[in-house]
């Protein structure tokens, strides 16, 4: 799982890819539809989609001549699980610090 997280966080470090994920969260879209709001070529958007595909956040399928992209929500849950684990660890550490500080005061 760490390699998957590394790839996913690296992919999401780019604002265009985060915007593409946000758009795909609203529903499937083709590369042309995804490119419309950007001042980027379809080739550039395809490159970003390729990176999102490699880390498992997006899948693309064939529907005749169309190739719609779909967000893989299950992969987002992997990130969510990791963030929740980190939050628990830090909450525990902060609680221990607060307890320690109240003991010494």
Distance CA 34, CA 5 (A): 24
Q: For 32-62, write each residue's pLDDT tens digit.
A: 999 999 999 999 999 999 999 999 999 999 9
Is it true that domain 2-104 has CATH number 3.40.50.300?
Answer: no
Instruction: List the one residue out of 78, 16, 82, 2 whose CA is nearest residue 52.
Output: 16
Q: Which residues pair with 97 in a beta bridge?
A: none
How large a percentage of the chain has pLDDT more than 70?
97
How many other β-carbons are positioned within 10 Å of the β-carbon of residue 1? 8
Task: Tell me what the mean pLDDT of segment 67-80 comes to.
Answer: 91
Q: Model's pTM, two decimal places?
A: 0.80
Domain locations along the chain: 2-104
Confidence of residue 1 (pLDDT cuts 50, 70, 90): low
């Amino acid at each position: 799982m760490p390699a998957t997280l590394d790839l996913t966080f690296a992919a999401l470090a780019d604002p265009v890819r985060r915007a593409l994920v946000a758009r795909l969260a609203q529903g499937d879209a083709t590369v042309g539809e995804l490119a419309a709001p950007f001042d980027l070529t379809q080739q550039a958007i395809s490159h970003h989609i390729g990176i999102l595909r490699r880390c498992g956040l997006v899948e693309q399928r064939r529907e005749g001549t169309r190739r719609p992209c779909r967000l893989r929500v299950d992969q987002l849950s992997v990130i969510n699980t990791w963030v929740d684990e980190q939050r628990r660890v830090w909450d525990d550490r902060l609680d221990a610090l607060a307890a320690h500080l109240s003991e010494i005061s």
